[in-house]
Chains A and B, each alone.
Chain A
């Protein structure tokens, strides 16, 4: 085994980060995947198509997966000695990476934007994307790496169905005693935020949840996905699944419209690679204007209704 990639099931598929990392790892060597979730032949075939030759599958049932998954991966790497174990930035990805790190006594190389092996080196952006550092793993392999979303392209290269190996969730005693009692999906309409060609995001500048409809209406006119700053997610206006930024989603659309978002570093990390950025904010000193292709210094309550009306008049 050359490289092990962590995958968590999401809506009946392998996570987006798992497909990206499997594609990248396949360009560096042989790839095995550790998949957590219900699992299905289709999910495993998808991983195989992206270059995985084997899939180790663990279904944690109602147990919180991090502790048993970390123990199972520790057992696996003790036998197969991969050069690296790769994780995305999903919540369970980071949980498992942390527990595995402590279990193996190895550091985590975080926020990787690029990766090479032999020796394992990662390139990462720090301090809000203003500095780039290269970090080399000096401990014995495997190196544990957490990669940024969309750092690598997922490529379906038509690989064959992988060998699947069922892994029983190990008994980890007290560490494994947390259980999931309920699962809630928060539905929203429109295109998927992570994959949309156009994203319209709103922030505190909208003034209140009552004005959020302006963001939704503009998004509907542009067939865009709706995003949000952390401030409005924390304020409870919209669910976390819409959050763009360091602790939310990373987006790379053709056009990103930031309405009433000042541009905290942690937000800009998640959207600065959009091809075109349009920002509307009443504060002329808002940091978002520093990276916008078009910055409108104005009140979103004035600009958005006119913009929506003008777009409706065109059709």
Chain B
């Protein structure tokens, strides 16, 4: 089974994000980390590959020169990576990301494409469905439990009121939640081995995209203004001396909840 896992490298969420004053894009440092939500997609991919004599190839679009996040995912056990890294991709909208990833995945061939539900920094949550539409395959989203084999994939899909059991023939796209599996931590051997694993680096042009098709020009949207939002101020902070519940009750009375 050929499994493609989409991963994104993002600025470390532990440090505050910056927006470029002129372009309004997130400033992307040289060293970016693997988006935490992608660890779940990688883990699902590895488990399915182990059960089905499969291979796991990572696909990532990253106009930053960073390899750190890719190496993190390779260290978990993925076989190889395809990285599309090209300055013309800066400012690309989600649909451009999907087109580029779909083109790279199609070139390699696939039975199953796995992604996280949404990225931590962009969080529009539409890329997996866009990839599925471009590749003309079903997309099973919000998957919290996944089984695959015998040419099909079956998932539990989260719904507003519970969950549905959904089945699809392969090939298909899967978007997994962060509750789907417990991601493994890379071993020392895995981290050392990741440095030897192949990373194919492509440009948008290698996949047949012109510079007008991608980046800001292909986005179809324009950020016209950026402003900070006045943040909510912290109120009263008290240490619990054994009587803090009385202060809570007083506030509940003030707000007329009780």
Contact = CB atoms under 8 A, between A and B. Distances in A.
What secondary structure prevails in chain A residues at the interface with B? mixed
A266 B36 CA distance: 13
Interface stretch (B47-55, B76-84, B160-168, B201-209): B160-168
A276 B94 CA distance: 36
B257 interface: yes
A99 B227 contact: no
B209 to A, nearest CB: 13
Contacts of B21: none
A180 interface: yes
A151 to B, nearest CB: 14
B187 to A, nearest CB: 23
A138 interface: yes
Interface in B220-258: 220-229, 231-232, 234-240, 242, 244-249, 251-252, 255, 257-258
Q: Could you say which interface size class chain A belongs to?
A: 35 or more
Contacts of A107: 93-95, 219-221
B158 interface: yes
Contacts of B178: 230, 234
A146 interface: yes
Interface centre among A181, A240, A255, A278 (most CB of B within 10 A): A240
Interface string A77-111: 00000000000001100111111011101111111
A48 to B, nearest CB: 23
B220 A184 contact: no
Given A174-B136, A222-B258, A241-B160, A138 B220 contact: yes
Interface string B72-102: 0000000000000000000001110011000
B244 A90 contact: no
Nearest to A290: B234
Interface string A196-231: 011000000000000000000000001000000010
Interface centre among A101, A136, A241, A310 (most CB of B within 10 A): A101
What secondary structure prevails in chain B residues at the interface with A? mixed
Interface centre among B98, B126, B249 (most CB of A within 10 A): B126
A163 interface: no
A182 B257 CA distance: 40
Contacts of A138: 219-222
Nearest to B142: A91
Given A240-B179, A284-B237, A293-B236, 6 more contacts: A133-B223, A135-B222, A137-B220, A138-B222, A173-B136, A302-B242
17 contacts: A64-B140, A70-B133, A90-B160, A102-B98, A102-B129, A108-B95, A133-B225, A174-B137, A178-B167, A178-B168, A186-B162, A236-B179, A254-B257, A293-B235, A295-B237, A297-B239, A310-B245
